[in-house]
Chains A and B, each alone.
Chain A
Amino acid sequence: MSFKKKMKKIKKIKFTLLLVLLFFFSCTSSSYLKLRVEIPRRTAFNLEQFSEIVITNFFIKKRTKKFDLNQELVNYFASEIEREFKGKTSSKTISLEKEEVFSDKEFWKNLSLDLKGAVLLTGSAQYSEEIRKAISETKKDYSEDLSSKGKIMEERRFYTLSLNLCLIDAKTGEALYKRSFKESKGYKNPNQTAPFAFFELIQIVKGKFFRNILGGTKIQERYLISD
């Protein structure tokens, strides 16, 4: 075979190889894009299916002195839900005489609230306060009283907020979602006020409750790919 013929054959092979490679890469190469995606949290209850939330008064198991728990709850939920819920928010006063009323479908159905596509936020609540004595350790100072061993008796003021929240379908009277919360916090300061502690405790409840009904979002990384 002459040199010229050999060169021609090599050229042909090269050309075919190039075509095969081109075909291979265009068909099989894959690329990706890393994207930060705002992913909604899965919620136990989809509140977005309702156009309105009506916040009713709460059934108060035991009254707290100098603190209107019902009013504080209604005000708090009304303002917080209004901020985060896309639909309408309103409040209504209903006569709640016993706690069993929350599972009484007929009671809510017969209220004839004339609300279409609304859900009622209601429930029972209790806010208590107590003073507990506890032994706590202080920085040991052996130069003074050795018998005390750095331990002192301290009084602490504890506040407990118990909430049974319930979401009721205004149309059917059916309880769609129920959740109980019990949050407690102790304060060293014996003069700690009930409203201040309430605000701290209700914030904790809000975090848990809203996460379950409104969800929220979180940013996560995902890969978008092409074949």
Chain B
Amino acid sequence: MYRKLTAYLLILPLLSVFLLTCSRPVLNNQIHFGIQAAQKDLWDEAVFRWKKVINSNPESAAAHNNLAVAYEKKGLWEQAKKEYETALKLSPKNIYIKANFENFNKNYELQEKDEKDKKN
């Protein structure tokens, strides 16, 4: 009985440390909510969720990346660029962010070139 109690007493602080210090699961829920909303084409809801994540954890590369995709979808190019850059700064080796940013840049640069040609 005494042994069991000590075992529980050991587990309890470990669990509380796990739940309190690692807040990502909670934030991940918000990210997942956002992803689900995006899948249903509810991009405003998705933006709301991912912004919420960024407010609590500005270091979330995933939230910045997802928000960039949402901005792209809405045609907000400058905001999308900024978010992709932040995401890449936070997670420079992430292949998914890199792929997204490359595709974004193709569209972005093509238009920049088109606008320059017109001016010339």
Contacts and interface: CB of A to CB of B under 8 A. Distances in A.
A binds B: yes
Interface of A: 19, 22-23, 26-27, 30, 32-33, 35, 37-42, 44, 179, 212, 215, 220-227
Interface in B10-32: 14, 18, 22, 24-25, 27-28, 31-32
Interface in B70-89: 72-75, 77
B103 A221 contact: yes
B31 A42 contact: no
A224 B50 CA distance: 11
A222 B61 contact: no
Given A33-B39, A37-B69, A227-B24, A23 B18 contact: yes
A179 B118 contact: yes
A227 B27 contact: yes
Contacts of A220: 103, 107
Given A19-B18, A224-B66, A226-B32, 7 more contacts: A23-B22, A27-B25, A32-B96, A35-B39, A37-B69, A225-B94, A226-B28
Given A39-B73, A44-B114, A223 B100 contact: yes
A37 B60 contact: no
Contacts of B27: 227
A47 to B, nearest CB: 12
Contact of B61 (A27, A32, A37, A227): A227
A206 B72 CA distance: 25
Contacts, number: 83
A225 B103 contact: no
B69 A222 contact: yes
Contacts of B74: 40
Given A19-B18, A26-B22, A227-B61, A222 B103 contact: yes
B48 interface: no
6 contacts: A39-B72, A41-B111, A44-B118, A222-B72, A225-B61, A226-B62
A165 to B, nearest CB: 12
B108 A225 contact: no
A182 to B, nearest CB: 15
Contacts of A212: 114
Contacts of A22: 18
A37 B73 contact: yes
A115 B96 CA distance: 48
Contact of B115 (A23, A39, A41, A44): A44
Contacts of A227: 24, 27-28, 31, 60-63
Give me the 9 closest cross-chain CB pairs, A-B, nearest first. A223-B96, A42-B111, A40-B75, A225-B62, A226-B31, A227-B62, A222-B69, A27-B22, A224-B35
B28 to A, nearest CB: 5
A223 B18 contact: no
